[in-house]
Structure 1
Amino acid sequence: MPVTEHTFTIRLPIKIVWSFMSDRHEVGCLFPGCKGVKVLNDLDSIWTVRVSLGPFSRTVQMKTHTTEYREFEKLAWEAEGDNLKSTGSVALKKLSDNETQVAYRIEGHVTGHFAALQDMVVAEKLRDLAKKFIHNIKEQLEWMIEDESEVSS
C-alpha cells in the first residue's frame, strides 16, 4: 500500500492542536477534494471526496472508522470507499508549553482490477494530497496563532 508521512511543528499548545485535529468537520474541510463530512457517531463518519487519478475523476463516499483515540497523543483511522482503501494517523508530541510536533501518516490503496498498476499512480497522488493537506492545516493553525496574538495584545 502506498504510504506518505510528514512531520511539522506548530507554535500552539498541544490542547489547541488536538482540539483542531480531532474535529472531523474542521479537518475534513481542509482535505483536498473533500466536499463534506457526515459524522455518524464518536467513531464513524462518511467523507465525500472528489478523487482524481490521472485523467479520471469521480466523487466517492469514504466510510471512515476511528481505530485509535488517545487524547492529546494519537488519532488513527481506516477508510473504505468504491475500490479505495485508506488508513492514517496523526500523532502529537508536546515540545514545550506553546509548541507541538504533528506527525501525519496516510496510506492509500486501489482495490479491484489492475490494483498494482493503479497503486503506482496512487503513490504519487497521495504525496501531492498529503502536501496540500498539511499546507492547509498549517495555514489554518497559523491563522489561530495570529488570532490568539491579536487577542492578547
Structure 2
Amino acid sequence: MIEAEHSLIIEAPIAGVWDYVQDIRKWAQLFPGYQDCTVDNDDDSRWTLKVGAGGLVRTVKVQVHVDRWSGPEQVDFSFKLANEPVEGGGVYTARALGPRQTEITLKVRVSGSGPMAPMWEAVSRPLLPQLAKLFAGQLKTEIEQIAGIAPATDTKPATALWRWLQRLWKTLFSAGASTDSSPSRPAEIAMSEQNKQVVLKFIHAMGSSDGAGAIPCLDPEASTLAKGFGKFAGVRSYATMVGTIDAFKVLLPTGLRPEIKTVTAEGDRVVVEFEGNAVTSEGKPYCNHYCMVFTMRGGRIFQVNEYFCNILADETLWPLVEKMQAQIPASPATP
C-alpha cells in the first residue's frame, strides 16, 4: 500500500467549500477523461473515465463509496477499479482559517493485489503525491472561480494529471499487448519481480544457515545441479538441499555471508551472481564466487544450476565434509 497527503488554502469560506465538496459528481468531473458519473445513492457512485496512451484507449470504471459524510469538516471515502486489482481510499478534511479562508487536506492511499500489484505500486509510488497535489489544486481552482476570485481556469494541473494517467496506463497496459492467452508484458515484469524476491529470500536463508527459512521458497520437487567435475558436482534433491543449508551451521559457523553482485530476472528464470565471505569451522577463509540459475514453478524455486570454483570447494570444504561423514553418515554438502 502507498499513501500521499497534500494540503492547501482555498480563498473561500468553509461553507462555500462544503457546497462544492458535498456533490460527488463534481469530484468525478475534476478527472481528465471524465465521461460519466452515476449516483446510486447518497454514498455510492460509479465513475466512467476514458484514459489512454498512443493507440491504447481504455474505459475505466471506478466504484466510489463515501464511508462517512461529516461536513463541512470531513469526508471519508474508498474506491475500487472494476475489473482491475486496484483499490484504495482517503480522507478529505477542512478547517476554517478565517471568514474567507479554508485549509483543506487530502489524504489518499492505493493498494494492489495479485500478480499486477508490484507494477501498480511501483509506478504509482512516485506519482501518487503528484496526483493528490493536482486534484487538490483543481478543487481549489473550481471553488475560487465560483466565488469569483480565480480569473480563469489554470489548465496546467489538468494537463499534468492527464499525463500522469497516460504514463500509468501505458506502463501497466502496453499498446503492444496481444489478444491471445499469453501474459501481457507488464504481468511478466511483475511476475519476474516476485520471482526475484523469492530467490533473494532463499539466498539469504542459505547464507545464514536457515533451512527452515529456505523451505517456503522451494517447490516440493525442487532439485539442484552443481555443475563441474569436482567432488560436490551432481544432483541433490529437496531434502538434501534443506539438509545442506542446515549443515552450514557446522561447516561455516559465520554463515556464507553472500554479497550479491547482479540479479537478472525474466519470466520464470532468475540468475544471481554473488560472492561468499565465510570462515570455516577450522578458521580458514572460504570466499568462493557463485552464479546460480534458478527456474521457478508457481512462484517457488523448482530447479537450480550452480556454478562455483570446484578447486576451492574441494580443497577447503571437502575435508570438513569427510570428517562429518565419518562421524554421522550424511549426504555431501553443497559448497
Q: Judge same fold: TM > 0.5, yes or no.
A: yes
Alignment check: 8 A CA contact 2:2 2:121 kept: yes
2:20 corresponds to which residue? 20
What is the Cα deviation at residue 65 of structure 1?
Answer: 1.1
- 1:66 equivalent in alignment to 2:66: yes
What is the Cα deviation at residue 117 of structure 1?
Answer: 3.7
Alignment check: 8 A CA contact 1:110 1:122 kept: no
- 1:145 equivalent in alignment to 2:147: yes
What is the Cα deviation at residue 17 of structure 1?
Answer: 0.2
TM-score w.r.t. the length of structure 1 is 0.84
2:128 corresponds to which residue? 126
How many residues are matched? Answer: 147
1:94 corresponds to which residue? 96
What is the Cα deviation at residue 56 of structure 1?
Answer: 7.2
1:151 corresponds to which residue? none
2:75 corresponds to which residue? 75
* Uncovered stretches (5+) of structure 1, i.e. residues with no partner: 149-153
Residue 33 to residue 123, structure 1, CA distance change in 2 (3 Å): farther
Question: Which one has more relative contact order, counting CA pairs under 8 Å at least 6 apart?
Answer: 1
* Uncovered stretches (5+) of structure 2, i.e. residues with no partner: 151-335
Structure 2 CA distance, aligned partners of 1:2 and 1:57?
26
What is the Cα deviation at residue 93 of structure 1?
Answer: 0.4
TM-score w.r.t. the length of structure 2 is 0.40
Structure 2 CA distance, aligned partners of 1:131 and 1:32?
15
Identity of aligned residues (%): 27
Structure 1 CA distance, aligned partners of 2:50 and 2:127?
13
Alignment check: 8 A CA contact 2:67 2:76 kept: yes
2:3 corresponds to which residue? 3
Q: Secondary structure at the match of 1:146?
A: coil
What is the Cα deviation at residue 68 of structure 1?
Answer: 1.3
State the Cα RMSD in Å: 2.3
